[in-house]
Amino acid sequence: MLDKLFAAPADTLHQLVQIGSAADSSLFVTIMKTFSSWAVPVLIFLIIILGWYKKVKVYETFIEGAKDGFNVAVKIIPYLVAILVAIGMFRASGAMDVFVALLSPLTNLIGMPAETLPVAIMRPLSGSGALGIVTELMKQHGPDSFIGRLASTMWGSSETTFYVVAVYFGSVGIRRVRHSIAAGLIGDTVGLVMAVIICRLVFG
Amino acid sequence: MNYIWLGLMVIALVVGAINGRIDAVTKAAVDNAAAAVEIALGLIGIMTLWLGIMKIAEKGGIIRILSRAIRPLARFLFPTIPSDHPAIGAMLMNLIANWLGLGNAATPLGLKAMEELQKLNKSTDTATNDMATFLALNTATICLIPMTVIAVRAQLGSANPFEIISTTILASTCATIAGVTAVKLLQRLPSIKKSDPNHQENISPSKEEGHHVG
């Protein structure tokens, strides 16, 4: 059903991604890698030079800002302990299997292979946990299998929402996060579902 | 967050007990508590460095320049933040660090942005709409090159470890759009609106008593 719905844009998308993939391994990656390794030093250089040009006392100002570093790091400890302990216990309990069983009828509808469902559930909870599952899947099925490619795409296309929420809000003492978790999880879900649809169109 | 945390803990304890893995659950609790502190302490150095650099950036005006550069987009995403406020520049730097996969710099820059956003917050413990939007942008962030997973693919002998870049960028773009749409729609819900610390009715003292949030 979904295939028919996406049949028209599928060709265009396929071609677009093919073009993208062809460039992937060569130019694009070289540019991005160079950019990544130069970004931090260039940024620091520009900030300091511009500060000096604007007659900012750079050393004194650095110290003034830097003295908060310790406090911020210490401030996030309770938030981080709370969320990481809960996630760790959840993983160790084997509750993942229960969730996989509950959600698999839903994910079958969009054509997500059952093997990749644990990646989807683990991704917002723990980046390294999800990477472990992805690695395991690629060992079993091969990195260039559909499952391997899909799992890789899923890993890259969403974030560890719970960690980010705990750390970011923790640093400023926010306890009532309101709709941020819901919005973050909606973003994650759409990312994961789109990963399935896009991978089926491109690699399927 | 209350229900999610409660849910995770209760499910873990109940399912762990049924599965006979209660020892593993206990061990995970202890280990992860220690790991959390290690992560936080590990942030001290990089945090201190970036907060120092960012202070220079703030005083030298580079953050203000960045803020002005993305004014139209910022006005749409964060309508209540003045367009040359340092919060905008700090958020932009965090998002760029995320796009480039500079994980080390991204967290301190994000926390700096949160500090700036908190200055615009009338409450000490409740998130503003702008914070929620920033978090949505951040949790559904577009990573241009997911190097970690590419490295694993290469190690496992993939013929083209990079072929997932385009699919990843496409999927995460959708995730970002969905996250921002969700945050903008959710904040219109009456219950979410009511808990907004910067909402007019919530800050006017005359109505505060009859209008308890929470």
Question: How high is the ipTM of this complex?
Answer: 0.86
Mean pLDDT of B21-46: 92
> What pLDDT score does B209 carry?
42
**Residue A63 pLDDT level (bands cut at 50, 70, 90):** very high
**Residue B207 pLDDT level (bands cut at 50, 70, 90):** very low
User: Nearest by CB to A190, which of B56, B149, B178?
Assistant: B178
Query: Three-class SS string for chain A?
Result: CHHHHCHHHHHHHHHHHHHHHHHHHHHHHHHHHHHHHHHHHHHHHHHHHHHHHCCCCHHHHHHHHHCCHHHHHHHCHHHHHHHHHHHHHHHHHCHHHHHHHHHHHHHHHCCCCHHHHHHHHHCCCCHHHHHHHHHHHHHHHCCCCHHHHHHHHHHHCCCCHHHHHHHHHHHCCCCECCCHHHHHHHHHHHHHHHHHHHHHHHCC
- State pLDDT tens for residues B100-147: 777 678 888 999 999 999 999 999 999 999 999 999 988 777 777 787
* C-alpha–C-alpha distance, residues A106 and A135, integer Å: 24
Phi/psi of residue A188, nearest 5 degrees? -60, -45
**Residue B203 pLDDT level (bands cut at 50, 70, 90):** low
Phi/psi of residue A168, nearest 5 degrees? -65, -50
Q: Does B177 have pLDDT greater than 50?
A: yes
**Residue A21 pLDDT level (bands cut at 50, 70, 90):** low
Q: Does A132 have pLDDT greater than 70?
A: yes
* Chain A with chain B: Cβ pairs closer than 8 A: 384
Which residue type does A122 have? M
- Where is mean pLDDT largest: A25-34, B77-86, B142-151? B77-86
Which is more confident, B96 or A3? B96
Q: Does A106 have pLDDT greater than 70?
A: yes
User: Nearest by CB to A58, which of B56, B134, B143?
Assistant: B56
Mean pLDDT of A127-132: 88
Q: Does A122 touch chain B (CB under 8 A)?
A: no
Contacting A residues, span 51-80, partner chain B, CB-CB under 8 Å: 51-54, 56, 58, 61-70, 72-74, 76-77, 80
CA distance B79 to chain A (A): 17
- Where is mean pLDDT largest: A140-154, B61-75, B163-177? A140-154
Q: Does B58 have pLDDT greater than 90?
A: no
Inter-chain touch A89–B29, beta carbons under 8 Å: yes
* C-alpha–C-alpha distance, residues B34 and A140, integer Å: 32
Domain boundaries, chain B: 18-208
> What pLDDT score does B65 carry?
86
Cα B57 to the chain's mean position, in Å? 22
**Residue B43 pLDDT level (bands cut at 50, 70, 90):** confident
Q: Does A1 have pLDDT greater than 70?
A: no
Contacting A residues, span 162-201, partner chain B, CB-CB under 8 Å: 162, 164-165, 167-169, 171-184, 186-192, 194-195, 198-199
Mean pLDDT of A18-29: 58
Q: Does A155 touch chain B (CB under 8 A)?
A: yes
Residue B126 in 3-state DSSP? strand
* C-alpha–C-alpha distance, residues A122 and A140, integer Å: 18
- A35-39, A57-61, A198-202, range with the lowest pLDDT: A35-39
Q: Which residue of B has its CA nearest to A84?
A: B32
User: Nearest by CB to A190, which of B44, B117, B174?
Assistant: B174
- State pLDDT tens for residues A37-55: 787 888 899 999 999 999 9
DSSP states of B14-76:
HHHHHTT-HHHHHHHHHHHHHHHHHHHHHHHHHHHHHHHHHHHHHHHTHHHHHHHHTHHHHHH
Q: Which residue of B has its CA nearest to A91?
A: B12
- A48-62, A140-154, B153-167, range with the lowest pLDDT: B153-167
Test mutation, B27, B98, B165, chain A, max A CBs within 10 A: B165
**Chain B residues touching residue A74 (CB < 8 angstroms):** 40
> What pLDDT score does A198 carry?
92
Q: Does A145 touch chain B (CB under 8 A)?
A: no
User: Nearest by CB to A61, which of B19, B49, B55?
Assistant: B55
**Chain A residues touching residue B87 (CB < 8 angstroms):** none
**Residue B208 pLDDT level (bands cut at 50, 70, 90):** very low
User: Nearest by CB to B8, which of A25, A29, A86?
Assistant: A86
